[in-house]
Amino acid sequence: MKRLFDQMKGRMRLLRACAATGLVVSALLAPAPVFAAVSEETAFVFNTLLFLIGGFLVMWMAAGFCMLEAGLVRSKNVADICLKNISLYSIAGIMYYLIGYRLMYDGVDGGFMGAIGFWSPDDSAALAETGDFSAGYAAASDWFFQMVFVATAASIVSGTMAERVKLVPFLIFTALLTGIIYPIQGAWHWGGGWLSEMGFADFAGSTLVHSVGGWAALTGAIILGARLGKYDAHGRPRAMPGSSLPLATLGTFVLWFGWFGFNGASQLALGSAADSIAISQIFANTNMAAAGGVVTALILTRIIYKKVDLTMSLNGALAGLVAITAEPLTPSIGQAIIIGSIGSALVVFAIPFIDRLKIDDVVGAISVHLVGGIWGTLAVPLTNGDASFLTQLIGVVAIGAFVIVLSTIFWLILKYSIGIRLDEEAETIGSDIAELGLEAYPEFGGGSHKYRGT
C-alpha cells in the first residue's frame, strides 16, 4: 500500500524539473564515474533531513500566523487569538494523524480520496539487513512535513474570522477542515488523484494550502458577518487598527523565514546535486517574490493613499510568497520578482474591495491567501511549459467549489446548532474576557492590577 502511494507521489514528482528518485536511479545506471555520485543511503538521509528541516521551518510559521494575527486584532481579542492559533496547530496535527494523512495519500490512485484510518510509519525496507532505500526518505519525516502544511491552511481561517467567532465552533471547524476538507482535495493532486492525472501543477500549495484556507475563511466570514461597528451608518467600512504593529511585523518575518521550508522542502528530495540546485533556486525565488511584494505595496500605497501603509506592505510580502508557491522553481529570479509584485498589487486592491463587499476580513487573509493563491496558480504556465492554463483553472475552480460547499455546510450546521458568533455584549467587552476570562495585557487599560502596588 505504502509502495502504491509512493508511486503516486513519484508520478507527480516526475512533473518537476529534478525528480529525486529519478536522478538517483539514473546516477546509478549512468556510466559516469560511480564514485562521484551520492550513495542511495546517503540520498535517503538527505531527503529525510530536507523534510525535517522543512518541517520545523513550516511548524514555526504557526508562530508567525499567531503573531501576525495577535498584532492585527484589538487588544481585547489578543489572548483569544493566541489560544486559537496554538489550539488549531495542535488539532490539525491530531486530525491529520487520525484520518487526514491516509485520506490524502493512501491509495488515491487517480481518484478522489484515499483510505480511512490512523497512520503509522513503515520503514521496514530501509531498516532491513539488506537495506533497501528506494522509498527515498523516512516515512515519518514525510508525515511530519505534510502535517505542518495542514496547520497552515487552518491558520488562515482564524485571522479572517477573529474578534467575533466563538472558540468552540471555530475549533470544531478546524478539526473538520484539517481532517476532511483539506485531505480530500489534497488527494486530488498531491495524493495522485484525478487532478494530478490531468497535469495540474501546484508545487507547494498556492491552491492546495493557501486558497483552501482562503475559501474556508471567505465562506466563514460571509456566514459569520462583520464585526460590530465595522461599517458605519452609511455602510462605509471603518478601520479598526490592530493592537501592535511590531508583533504583526514579527509575524510576517516569521512567515517569510518559514516559507523557505514550505517551498524549499516541497522539492521533496535533496539527495542529488540536481535537487540541491533546484532547492537553491526555490530559496532565491521565494525570497525575491516576497521582496517584490513588499516594494510593490510600498509604492502603490504611497501613490494611492499618499502614505505608505505598513500593514499593506506586510500583506504584500505574504502575497508575494503565496503567489510564488505554486511554482517556485521554474521562474528566473526576475520572473519571481514580477510574480510576487503582481500578487502584492492584487492584494493592495483586493483588501479595500473585499472590505467594501461587507466581508469583514480582520487580517486580510482572504486577499493574501485566496487572491494571491489563485494568481500564483494561474501564473504557473507562464514559466513552466508542462502546465496548461486550462488545467490550472480547472484545479482552482474544482478545489474552490469543493471547499466552498463543504465549508458552507459545516459552518451552517455549527451556526444552527451551537451558534458560531459571540453575543453582542461578549463581542463588545472582547473575546478575551468573554471566552477566556482574562486579558492579554492585564495591566494596561483595564483591570485593576496595574494599580496594585503589589
Q: Which does 420 bind (CB under 5 to 8 A by kind): its own copies, other proteins, none?
A: none
Stretch 165-204: interaction string toward its own copies, x if CB under 8 A: --x---x---------------------------------
Task: Report if residue 452 touches other proteins, rule: CB under 8 A.
Answer: yes
| Residue 257 binds to its own copies (criterion: CB under 8 A) | yes
Helix (H, G, I), strand (E, B), or coil: what is residue 421? strand
Q: Which is nearer to its own copies, 83 or 187 (CB)?
A: 83
Residues 80-119 interacting with its own copies (rule: CB under 8 A):
82-83, 85-87, 89-91, 93-94, 97, 118-119
Q: How far is residue 72's CA from residue 311's CA, in Å, rounded to a whole number?
A: 9
How many Cβ atoms from other residues are within 10 Å of residue 256's Cβ?
A: 22
Is 235 near its own copies (CB under 8 A)? no
Binding map of its own copies across residues 375-414, x = CB under 8 A, - = no contact: ----------------------------------------
Place of cell 476570562: 437
Given the complex with other proteins, which of 130 and 454 has the nearer CB atom? 454
Is 34 one of the binding residues for its own copies (CB under 8 A)? yes
Among 29, 235, 307, 416, the residue binding its own copies under the rule CB under 8 A is 307
Site for other proteins in 243-302 (CB under 8 A): none
Q: Does 253 bind its own copies (CB under 8 A)?
A: yes
Contact 367, 354 (CB under 8 A): yes
Among positions 48, 311, 325, 384, the unique one binding other proteins when judged by CB under 8 A: 311
- For its own copies, the binding residue among 15, 308, 359, 382 (CB under 8 A) is 308
- Between CA 9 and CA 180 the distance in angstroms is 20
Using CA of residue 38, residue 13, residue 65, residue 309, what is the dihedral sign?
positive
Closer by beta carbon to other proteins, 242 or else 395: 242
115's CB contacts (< 8 A; 6+ apart) are 1, 102, 103, 106, 107
Q: Answer yes or no whether residue 427 interacts with other proteins by CB under 8 A.
A: no
Number of residues that bind its own copies (CB under 8 A): 140
| Grid cell digits, residue 223 | 456566514
Stretch that binds its own copies, among 153-161, 183-191, 365-373, 429-437 (CB under 8 A): 429-437
Query: Taking Cα atoms as reference points, which of 102, 352, 371, 368 lies closest to residue 239?
Result: 352
Q: Where are the alpha helices (DSSP H) in 17-138?
A: 20-29, 40-72, 78-95, 101-105, 124-127
Closest of 362, 303, 454 to residue 159, by C-alpha:
362
Instruction: Tell me which residue has cell 467587552.
Output: 429
Picking from 136, 289, 271, 141, the residue whose alpha carbon sits closest to that of residue 203 is 289
When CB distances are held under 5 to 8 angstroms depending on the partner's kind, the choice from its own copies, other proteins, none that residue 355 binds is other proteins
Q: CA-to-CA distance for 444 and 440, rounded, in angstroms?
A: 9
4 binds, among its own copies, other proteins, none (CB under 5 to 8 A by kind): none
Among 277, 359, 394, 404, binds its own copies (CB under 8 A): 277
Contact 202, 119 (CB under 8 A): no
Which candidate, 388, 391, 348, places its Cα nearest to that of 368?
Answer: 348
Within a 10 A sphere around the Cβ of 123, how many other Cβ atoms? Answer: 17
All cell numbers assigned to 85? 492559533
Query: Could you say which of other proteins, its own copies, none residue 351 binds, taking C-beta under 5 to 8 angstroms by partner kind?
Result: other proteins
Phi and psi torsions of 231, nearest 5°: -120, 135
Are the CB atoms for 119 and 147 separated by under 8 Å? no
Q: Are 206 and 325 in contact (CB under 8 A)?
A: yes
Is position 117 an interface residue for other proteins (rule: CB under 8 A)?
no
Q: Which of 8, 153, 176, 254 binds its own copies (CB under 8 A)?
A: 254
Q: How far is residue 313 CA from its own chain's centroid?
A: 19
Per CB under 8 A, the segment of 1-9, 201-209, 329-337, 348-356 that binds other proteins is: 348-356
* 305 or 389: CB nearest other proteins: 305
Mark 351-380 with x for binding to other proteins (rule: CB under 8 A) and - for no binding: xx--x--------x----------------
User: Which residue ranges make up the site for other proteins (CB under 8 A)?
Assistant: 236-239, 241, 305-307, 309, 311-312, 348, 351-352, 355, 364, 428, 437-438, 445-448, 450-454
